Structure 1
Amino acid sequence: MTAADRIRILTVDDHAVFRDGIAAIIAPQPDMLLVGEATNGAEAVDSFRNLRPDVVLMDLQMPVRSGIQAITEIRALAPSARIVVLTTYDGDVQAVRALKAGACGYLLKSSLRKELLDTIRIVHGGGRYVPAGVAQQIAIHAAEEPLTSREISILELVAAGKPNKVIAWELSLSEDTVKAHLRSVYSKLDVNDRTQAVTTALRRGIIAL
């Protein structure tokens, strides 16, 4: 198999050790070739534009520009781009965001080597892949009413440790309005207090620290 026939891969992650690990997994594969690396979402878009890889392995939580932003921009450049998210977060909300942005696959960094290689081949062949556990969480929460942008903003400030009075001042709301939004958040997330709301929202990828 010539270099032109191999699956050309771009890996995007801000951790050098992880990029090195991916390179070590790809190197022995006769049908794959690592053509580039990027350390953030902005570099990912530039590298894609210059290299035009067949498959992009994309982290989500990165400096400068997030993985979701990079996926959106790459798909705008090339609607047929094949992108696989590689993340430590198994939250259903984050997975849905990535897939809606244009990702064709969603994998956890804890996935086995074989699952990663199989996913690259599946996505390159035009398929899609989401692990069973993540797909199940997406299905479980699919019928639930999502949090509004205002509720998410308030929850992010709660996660930052700010009291209702400060949140109200920062968002130009009354304190009673903040409390009403929080009651709605508790109901939608099926939790009883601020701590549970933040924990659940972080786990599902609704907010990030």
Structure 2
Amino acid sequence: MTAPAVLLVDDDATFLQHAARFLGQGGAVRVVGTARSADEGVALAQSVRPDVVVLDLSMPDTDGFAALPIFRAAAPGAAVVVVTTHEGSHYRTRALALGAAGFVPKRRLVDDLLPEIVRLCPPLPRAAPAPPALGTAPPARPA
């Protein structure tokens, strides 16, 4: 089973460090990169091809709302989960309308982010062992 690859994008270096450590525990998620700006995150998304981008709404260069469609184009197979300190329903509604697959208030991060990632990228079942190939046994010796 391969853990979902997650890219974290937030302008707060301390948040990135703590979120990466938290998500990396237990092996349910692989943090494949962190970025401190939308521009850096988009460039990284194109190279690491994450399954999920965790994107903060409040960033100084390009805010998360403006960055959402850019991430969706740069990493079309990735789900974007918005994280934010802004909890009003209009933030959630706007983020989802712009293509976010999930929305997690930062105060609920510890409880809600990992389940949200698993919801978006459920673990694949383990493949059954392949049956033995036919014709690989040595030929029988005549008696």
TM-score range, shorter chain: 0.7 to 0.9
The 1:69/1:114 distance shift into structure 2, 3 A limit, reads: same
- Post-superposition Cα deviations, 1:40-94, rounded to whole Å, max 9, x if no partner, equal 1111111111111011110011021111122111212344320111100012222
Per the TM alignment, residue 100 of structure 1 is displaced from its structure 2 partner at its CA by 1.2
Secondary structure in 2 matching 1:118: helix
Per the TM alignment, residue 29 of structure 1 is displaced from its structure 2 partner at its CA by 2.4
1:111 aligns with 2:100: no
Tell me how far apart the structure 1 counterparts of residues 109 and 9 of structure 2 sit (CA, whole Å): 19
Match of 1:37 in 2: 34
1:48 aligns with 2:45: yes
Tell me how far apart the structure 1 counterparts of residues 64 and 31 of structure 2 sit (CA, whole Å): 19
Higher relative contact order (CA 8 A, sep 6+): 2
Tell me how far apart the structure 2 counterparts of residues 95 and 114 of structure 1 sit (CA, whole Å): 18
Contact 2:10–2:16 (8 Å) recurs in 1: yes
One-letter code of the match for 1:86? V
The 1:29/1:114 distance shift into structure 2, 3 A limit, reads: farther
Q: Equivalences for 1:19-168 in 2 at 5 Å?
A: 19-125=16-122
Give the aligned CA root-mean-square deviation in angstroms: 1.5
Match of 1:132 in 2: none
Deviates more, 1:69-78 or 1:29-38: 69-78
List runs of 5+ in structure 1 lacking aligned partners: 126-209
The 1:112/1:101 distance shift into structure 2, 3 A limit, reads: closer
Give the structure with the larger strand fraction: 2
Per the TM alignment, residue 112 of structure 1 is displaced from its structure 2 partner at its CA by 4.8
One-letter code of the match for 1:122? R
List runs of 5+ in structure 2 lacking aligned partners: 123-143
Tell me how far apart the structure 2 counterparts of residues 55 and 72 of structure 1 sit (CA, whole Å): 14
The 1:19/1:103 distance shift into structure 2, 3 A limit, reads: same
Secondary structure in 1 matching 2:26: coil
Secondary structure in 2 matching 1:18: helix
Larger Rg: 2
The 1:97/1:112 distance shift into structure 2, 3 A limit, reads: closer
